[in-house]
């Protein structure tokens, strides 16, 4: 672990003490703190106003009961969360995650990351995150609908176009946003389009929002490659996951001339030497809501399916140029990073939130691998959510081409902001440092202007 600066160590110690057991939140906070020592010593006004202490304490945390009735008539109870972390730059903005592993520490780590990510986009959005320990796997549409209705029956009083604007994350896609929006509209008797993003195209959604996170992460990787005069053309790529982010990362890699040779889900890995068949994968995952094993079944001899496998170990036996972790937190550890380095990896861009462990980040950095941290590389999703809010506010809808062009400009802007900030601190190419400092200073300066609130 990198030593923390003496100025920030006591503040970090207090974060540990105030948030016991929330290990993912500790990890996310530490990663940001590692970058901030020099900023705090260079700009004493941040320490004088206790900005760091305040930024680690969410403005509001809501935890609620979500009762619902399953298809067998049994009452089920889940726990709902919304952590409204920071509204210095705009309404709280960030997704909802439905996954059985969700607890307060998950939502706080995601909310904390979101604050800096949203700041990096340069758009007027604060940071928040929510979700539930509800497991949508194996549940009927009717069960998912009843769960979403119950969840919104509590959440509606805390959100709003100018207050807090949730969206999707793991386990929350177009279907869930539809049920949530329907219930919000019904309870409030308001057609408040911009209260949620990721909506369907026919009822206030934005073109490109579905593709935005995966496209954006790939564009970020492409920008990093360009700094070394390189591109995706002919590159061999691994994309972990096979959900929303992974699918559209795969699509963009293919558009840019790369070949995706492997992807995964929580139960297995596919190694596809001839390249992943995206149309088949989308049919299986998006339409049939199936498993990766179903994809492998239809693909036959063309793919090698490894139940329970580790996608990064593919790099032990074949060359991998680019890795795009797009599944979940801490899915890529130090040994995986070493395998990727041995396999020749040039660039890693995080489509997921905090997928690389601190050990993995160290291995990549020491090996000189281009490394784009999630808060920069996966910001295209939330940025396009902000574009959706913009369209809703002006009662307009933009073409796919126009929206995609805006996304590309935003991703290039984020890359530039991170690179310039890293240069300014004499660490050229250190995107982790650049992202943390550029995101932090934008939020911190607004907080300074507002006084002690
Ligand atoms: P999805 O639910 O669409 O897909 C998640 C994928 O990751 C699935 O393939 C899933 O496999 C796999 N996965 C999830 N949890 C685990 C786990 N514990 N272990 C192994 N595999 C797992 O979610 P998204 O694609 O939307 O999100 C993926 C990542 O991207 C998350 O980290 C999310 O926070 C981040 N992100 C998402 C954005 C968005 O716009 N959606 C924006 C920015 C970041 P299985 O189906 O088997 O569970
Ligand atoms: O982690 C993320 O940035 C998201 N899940 C997207 C949030 C959003 O509001 O679009």
What token pair was written down for 257? 């001339």
pLDDT of residue 187: 98
Q: How far apart are the C-alpha atoms of 435 and 439, rounded to whole Å?
A: 6
Determine the atom of ligand 2 nearest the C-alpha atom of 94: 9
The number of the ligand nearest the C-alpha atom of 354 reads 1
Q: Using CB atoms within 10 A of its CB, is residue 333 exposed (0-12), middle (13-18) or buried (19+)?
A: middle
Find out whether 377 and 348 touch, Cβ atoms under 8 Å: no
Q: Closest Cα partner for 363 from 333, 404, 331?
A: 333
Cα 148 to middle of ligand 1, angstroms: 19
Q: Which of 87, 92, 94, 129 for mutating ligand 2's site (highest number of atoms within 8 Å of CB)?
A: 94
Give the CB-side neighbour count of residue 148, counting CA atoms within 13 A.
27
| Catalytic member of 129, 199, 235, 285 | 129
Which DSSP letter does residue 59 get?
S
209 lines ligand 2 (CB under 6 A): no
Q: 0.95 cut: is pTM over it?
A: yes
Instruction: Pick the residue whose CA is nearest to atom 35 on ligand 1.
Output: 352
Q: Which helix (H) or strand (E) holds 181?
A: helix 174-188
DSSP-derived secondary structure letter, 313: G
Nearest CA to ligand 1 atom 21: 266
Question: CB-side exposure of 394: number of CA atoms within 13 Å?
Answer: 9
Nearest-atom number in ligand 2 for the CA of 118 is 3
pLDDT tens digits, one per residue of 42-91: 999 999 999 999 999 999 999 999 999 999 999 999 999 999 999 999 99
Closest ligand to C-alpha of residue 310 is 1
Neighbours of 128 (CB within 10 A): 34
Q: In what order do the strands lie in the sheet with 75-86?
A: 60-69, 75-86, 127-132, 92-98, 164-167
pLDDT of residue 1: 72
Query: Ligand 1 pocket, 356 CB below 6 A?
Result: no
pLDDT tens string 315-343? 999 999 999 999 999 999 999 999 999 99
DSSP H/E element including 214: helix 209-226
What phi and psi, each to the nearest 5 degrees, are found at residue 93?
A: -145, 130
Residue nearest to atom 4 of ligand 2 (CA): 95
CA–CA distance, 98 with 147 (Å, rounded to integer): 11
d(CA 84, CA 66): 19
pLDDT value at residue 216: 99
In this structure, how many other beta carbons lie within 10 angstroms of the beta carbon of residue 189? 7
Task: Tell me which ligand sits closest to the C-alpha of residue 332.
Answer: 1
Q: Is the distance from the beta carbon of residue 384 to the nearest atom of ligand 2 less than 6 Å?
A: no
> In degrees rounded to 5, what are phi and psi of residue 315?
-70, -10
Dihedral sign computed on CA atoms, order 305, 309, 315, 317: negative
Cα separations in angstroms, 115 against 75, 88, 278, 378, 441: 36, 9, 33, 13, 11
- Asked if residue 443 lies in contact with residue 120, where contact means CB atoms within 8 angstroms, the answer is no
Q: Which residue's structure tokens are 């500790």?
A: 26
- For the record, the structure tokens of 147 come out as 């769960």
Beta bridge mates, 240: 325
The CA-based angle 129-92-433, given to 5 degrees, is 75
Distance in Å, CA 124 to ligand 2 centroid: 14
With a 6 A CB cut-off, is 93 part of the ligand 2 pocket? Answer: yes
Residue 154 to residue 66: CA distance in whole angstroms: 8
Q: Is 129 a catalytic residue?
A: yes
List residues bridging with 131 in a β-sheet: 81, 97
User: How many Å lie between the centroid of ligand 2 and the Cα of residue 94?
Assistant: 5
Q: Which domains does the chain have, with CATH numbers?
A: 9-55 (no CATH), 60-191 (3.40.50.10860), 212-374 (3.40.50.720)
- In degrees and rounded to multiples of 5, residue 304 shows phi and psi of -110, 110
Could you read off the pLDDT of 4-37 as tens digits, one per residue? Answer: 999 999 999 999 999 999 999 999 999 999 999 9
CB 233 within 8 A of CB 258: yes
Element (H, E) at 248: helix 244-255
Query: What is the rounded CA–CA span in Å between residue 435 and residue 415?
Result: 9
With a 6 A CB cut-off, is 243 part of the ligand 1 pocket? yes
Dihedral pair phi/psi, residue 29, rounded to 5°:
-65, -45
326 in contact with ligand 1, CB cutoff 6 A: yes
Ligand 2 centroid to 116 CA: how many Å?
Answer: 12
Q: Give me the tens of pLDDT residue by residue for the chain, a chain 453 residues long.
A: 778 999 999 999 999 999 999 999 999 999 999 999 999 999 999 999 999 999 999 999 999 999 999 999 999 999 999 999 999 999 999 999 999 999 999 999 999 999 999 999 999 999 999 999 999 999 999 999 999 999 999 999 999 999 999 999 999 999 999 999 999 999 999 999 999 999 999 999 999 999 999 999 999 999 999 999 999 999 999 999 999 999 999 999 999 999 999 999 999 999 999 999 999 999 999 999 999 999 999 999 989 999 999 999 999 999 999 999 999 999 999 999 999 999 999 999 999 999 999 999 999 999 999 999 999 999 999 999 999 999 999 999 999 999 999 999 999 999 999 999 999 999 999 999 999 999 999 999 999 999 999
């Amino acid at each position: 672990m990198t030593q923390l600066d003496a100025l920030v160590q006591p503040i970090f110690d207090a974060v540990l003490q105030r948030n016991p057991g929330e290990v993912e939140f500790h990890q996310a906070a530490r990663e940001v703190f590692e970058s901030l020592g020099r900023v705090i010593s260079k700009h004493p006004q941040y320490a004088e106003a206790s900005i760091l202490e305040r930024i680690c304490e969410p403005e509001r945390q809501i935890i609620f009961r979500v009762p619902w009735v399953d298809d067998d008539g049994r009452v089920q109870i889940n726990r709902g969360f919304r952590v409204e972390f920071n509204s210095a730059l705009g309404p709280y903005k960030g997704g909802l995650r439905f996954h059985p592993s969700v607890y307060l520490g998950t939502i706080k780590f995601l909310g904390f990351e979101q604050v800096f990510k949203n700041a990096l986009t340069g758009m007027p959005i604060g940071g928040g995150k929510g979700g539930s320990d509800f497991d949508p796997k194996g549940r009927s549409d009717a069960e998912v609908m009843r769960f979403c209705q119950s969840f919104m029956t509590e959440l509606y009083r805390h959100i709003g176009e100018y207050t807090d604007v949730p969206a999707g994350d793991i386990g929350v896609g177009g279907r869930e946003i539809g049920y949530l929006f329907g219930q919000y509209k019904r309870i409030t008797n308001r057609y408040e389009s911009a209260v949620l993003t990721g909506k369907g195209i026919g009822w206030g959604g934005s073109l490109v929002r579905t593709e935005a996170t995966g496209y954006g992460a790939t564009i970020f990787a492409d920008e990093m490659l360009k700094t070394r005069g390189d591109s995706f053309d002919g590159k061999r790529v691994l994309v972990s996951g096979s959900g929303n982010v992974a699918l559209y990362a795969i699509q963009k890699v293919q558009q840019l001339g790369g070949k995706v040779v492997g992807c995964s889900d929580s139960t297995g890995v596919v190694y596809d030497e001839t390249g992943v068949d995206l149309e088949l994968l989308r049919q299986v995952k998006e339409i049939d809501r199936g498993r990766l094993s179903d994809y492998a079944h239809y693909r036959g001899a063309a793919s090698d399916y490894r139940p329970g496998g580790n996608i990064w170990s593919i790099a032990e036996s074949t060359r991998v140029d680019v890795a795009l972790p797009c599944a979940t937190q801490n899915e890529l550890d130090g040994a995986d990073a070493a395998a990727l380095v041995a396999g020749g990896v040039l660039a890693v861009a995080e489509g997921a939130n905090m997928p690389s462990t601190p050990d993995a980040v160290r291995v990549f950095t020491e090996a000189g691998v281009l490394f784009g941290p999630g808060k920069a590389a996966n910001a295209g999703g939330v940025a396009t959510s902000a574009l959706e809010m913009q369209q809703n506010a002006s009662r307009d809808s933009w073409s796919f081409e126009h929206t995609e062009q805006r996304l590309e400009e935003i991703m290039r802007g984020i890359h530039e902001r991170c690179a310039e900030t890293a240069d300014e601190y004499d660490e050229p190419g250190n995107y982790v440092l650049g992202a943390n400092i550029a995101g932090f200073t934008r939020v911190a300066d607004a907080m300074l202007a507002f006084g002690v609130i």
